[in-house]
């Protein structure tokens, strides 16, 4: 099994570097170069736009069964090719092989869900006098420019493609330059399952060049972005000039509320596993832990001991619980968060250091007594670190949880049903986990509120975001 030669895909053709600029793709566990990624130039992007325009005209006419067959076929191929695809995803992103395999299954599951759901894009017939007809129909929005980040190298591209393709849109997908082979594998599965040329282009490039070029074009009718709130705001402004539809999946800073009456053992285990996942580089990763006074000390002790036991190493190695961070920016950022918290009077209970001098490994870290003025209590850390703070009352913790401009995921741990109801109503977020951190599923909308973005991916709501409404009236 080898890492593939990296290419762009435009109008049914795989294009290798040739005279194009290139970008080195690095294995974050070793620092070794995996491959040279061709970067699209302006001519490539113009060609991709023309192809997406043409591809949309073809694909919008395809029946729901044809679209569904391609998505279901791609899901089958992804499952058949799981070993190779997951290994390459671990090589380029760092997370463990068990995680990349699970991620691949999530992507296949989403394609299967949309293969079936494509047949249920119903419209309405309005009540009118005899002889009159008024219909409400839903049509694909048009060519989509989609930007996916590196943290889920298989599933993020899958999310950017599943709903648009199910509804009859064409797509120009720009995944992150850090993890291109995984995105190539997803696109290849769709092509092998019969996706016509021009319906899906895959480009890599200098992100700002690509997004400015694509979003300036009237051919693109929708922007779909997953990434940081800062970049999301920049892209929203670019999309405004041509009034494009938008789906924005942006950063979060998930509050975790641990009540005195939680099941301590289960809570510790659930949160430790969620935090170790992808070294904390997950938009719904639990990050701000508010722990009620009665259980605070016992929780912090048990949680710190649990994450300190995790085996950190190359994600390809057997028995590893957490891989490296995906790129050198992340350990630098985490060190900055920790130093700032300590300056504000917080304590490092466990971890706090890089591991080794090769790759981007960092210890699972717990910071206690973090004041609300510390940067880590205000900005998403995106790494294997949590900050804890004690609380007394329900009202006080709700105020803390909702204090930030973000609202993606929020979690609460309690064995009291009434507390669970009240806290799920009170949290200003798009997704609530009660005694669980597992929330993503093909049939369930995934998305945030406030500055965490708008619009949902997954579920029927993901299809709604790719459709426009037309009313037709006839006498
Ligand atoms: P970043 O803000 O530079 O980039 C985030 C993503 O946006 C990357 O995939 C990048 O390729 C892309 N991007 C950046 N500038 C772009 C542009 N002008 N046009 C199009 N795409 C562009 O940050 P980073 O260092 O790569 O990641 C760290 C931060 O990003 C984290 O703090 C986290 O908040 C956020 N992030 C969020 C998610 C998520 O799932 N919501 C995923 C990855 C990263």
- pLDDT per residue over 340-371, tens digit each? 999 999 999 999 999 998 999 999 999 999 99
Q: What is the DSSP letter of 406?
A: E
Which residues of the chain does CATH 3.40.605.10 include? 8-250+452-474
Measured by CA distance, the residue closest to atom 36 of ligand 1 is 227
Q: Which residues line ligand 1 (CB under 6 A)?
A: 147, 149-151, 176, 207-208, 211, 226-228, 230-231, 234-235, 249-251, 283, 329, 380, 382
- Alpha carbon of residue 70 to chain centroid: 23
From 178, 249, 379, 457, the catalytic residue: 249
Residue 191 pLDDT: 98
Q: Which fold has domain 254-441?
A: Aldehyde Dehydrogenase; Chain A, domain 2 (3.40.309)
pLDDT for 2 equals 84
257 CA to centre of ligand 1 in angstroms: 27
Q: Is 1 in a helix, a strand, or coil?
A: coil
For residue 429, the model assigns a pLDDT of: 98
Nearest atom, ligand 1, residue 408 CA:
41
- Give me the pLDDT at residue 289, please: 98
Which residue, judged by its Cα, is nearest atom 37 of ligand 1?
A: 227
Helix, strand or coil, per DSSP, at residue 275: helix
Mean pLDDT of the chain: 97
Mutate to test the pocket of ligand 1, among 176, 225, 227 (most ligand atoms within 8 A of CB): 227
d(CA 174, CA 438): 27
For the segment 238-285, what is each residue's pLDDT rounded down to a tens digit? 999 999 999 999 999 999 999 999 999 999 999 999 999 999 999 999
Quick one: tokens of 52? 């997406």
From residue 298, how far is each of 271, 275, 365, 396 by CA, in Å?
14, 18, 17, 21
* Residue 161 clears pLDDT 70, i.e. is over it: yes
Q: Is residue 139 among the annotated active site residues?
A: no
Residue 69 · residue 115 · CB < 8 Å: yes
Q: Which residues of 61-81 are buried (b: 16+ CB within 10 A; e: fewer)?
A: ebebeebbbbbbbbbebbbee
Angle of CA points 184, 186, 187, to nearest 5°: 65
Contacts 24+ apart (CB under 8 A), 82-87: 83/1, 84/1, 84/185, 85/154, 85/182, 85/185, 86/154, 87/1, 87/316
Reply yes or no on whether 466 is catalytic. Answer: no
CATH 3.40.309.10 domain range(s) in the chain: 254-441
Selecting among 107, 169, 262, 283, the annotated active-site residue is: 283
Mean pLDDT for 451-470 is 98
* Distance from Cα 240 to the centre of ligand 1, integer Å: 20
Ligand 1 centroid vs 150 CA: distance in angstroms? 8
Q: Candidates 149, 157, 211: which one to mutate for ligand 1, based on the most atoms within 8 Å of Cβ?
A: 149
∠407-412-416 over CA atoms, to 5°? 140
Return the pLDDT at 1. 61
Burial category of 287 from C-beta neighbours within 10 Å (exposed 0-12, middle 13-18, buried 19 and up):
buried
Give 301's contacts (C-beta < 8 A, 6+ positions apart): none
For residue 350, list its beta bridge partners. 366
* CATH code that applies to domain 8-250+452-474: 3.40.605.10
Centre of ligand 1 to C-alpha 7, Å, is 22
Which atom belonging to ligand 1 lies closest to the Cα atom of 211? 19
Q: Is the pTM of this model over 0.95?
A: yes
């Amino acid at each position: 099994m080898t890492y593939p030669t990296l290419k762009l895909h435009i109008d049914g053709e795989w294009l290798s570097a040739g005279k194009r600029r290139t970008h080195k793709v690095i294995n974050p566990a070793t620092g070794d170069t995996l491959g040279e990624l061709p970067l699209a130039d302006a001519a490539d992007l113009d060609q991709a736009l023309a192809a997406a325009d043409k591809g949309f005209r073809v694909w919008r006419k395809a029946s729901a069964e044809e679209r569904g067959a391609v998505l279901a076929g791609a899901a089958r191929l992804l499952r058949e090719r799981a070993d190779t695809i997951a290994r390459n995803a671990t090589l380029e992103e760092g997370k463990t092989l068990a995680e990349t395999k699970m991620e691949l299954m999530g992507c296949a599951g989403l394609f299967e869900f949309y293969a079936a759901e494509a047949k249920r894009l119903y419209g309405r017939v309005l009540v009118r006098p005899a002889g009159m007809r008024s219909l409400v129909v839903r049509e694909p929005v048009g060519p989509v420019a989609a930007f996916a980040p590196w943290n889920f190298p298989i599933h993020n591209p899958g999310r950017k493609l599943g709903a648009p393709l199910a509804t009859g849109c064409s797509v120009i997908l720009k995944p992150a330059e850090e993890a291109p082979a995984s995105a190539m594998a997803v696109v290849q599965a769709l092509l092998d399952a019969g996706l016509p040329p021009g319906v899906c282009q895959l480009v890599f490039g200098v992100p700002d060049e690509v997004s400015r070029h694509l979003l300036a074009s009237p051919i693109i009718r929708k922007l779909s972005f997953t990434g940081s709130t800062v970049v999301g705001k920049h892209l929203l402004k670019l999309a405004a000039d041509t009034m494009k539809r938008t789906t924005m999946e942006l950063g979060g800073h998930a509050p975790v509320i641990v009540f005195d009456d939680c099941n301590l053992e289960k809570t510790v285990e659930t949160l430790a596993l969620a935090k170790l996942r992808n070294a904390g580089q997950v938009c719904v990763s639990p990050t701000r832990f508010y722990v009620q006074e009665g259980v605070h000390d016992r929780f912090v002790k048990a949680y710190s001991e649990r994450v300190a036991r995790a085996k950190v190493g190359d994600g390809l190695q057997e028995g590893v619980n957490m891989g490296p961070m995906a790129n050198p920016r992340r350990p630098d950022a985490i060190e900055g968060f920790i130093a700032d918290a300590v300056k504000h009077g917080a304590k490092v209970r466990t971890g706090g250091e890089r591991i080794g001098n090769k790759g981007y490994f960092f210890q699972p870290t717990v910071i206690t007594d973090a004041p609300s003025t510390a940067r880590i209590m205000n900005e998403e850390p995106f790494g294997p670190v949590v900050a804890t703070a004690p609380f007394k009352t329900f009202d006080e913790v709700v105020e803390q949880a909702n204090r930030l401009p973000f609202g993606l995921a929020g979690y609460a741990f309690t064995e009291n049903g009434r507390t669970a109801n009240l806290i799920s109503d009170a949290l200003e977020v798009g997704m609530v986990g009660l005694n669980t951190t597992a929330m993503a599923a093909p049939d369930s909308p995934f998305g945030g509120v406030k500055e965490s973005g708008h619009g949902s991916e997954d579920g029927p709501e993901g299809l709604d975001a790719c459709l426009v409404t037309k009313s037709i009236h006839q006498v």
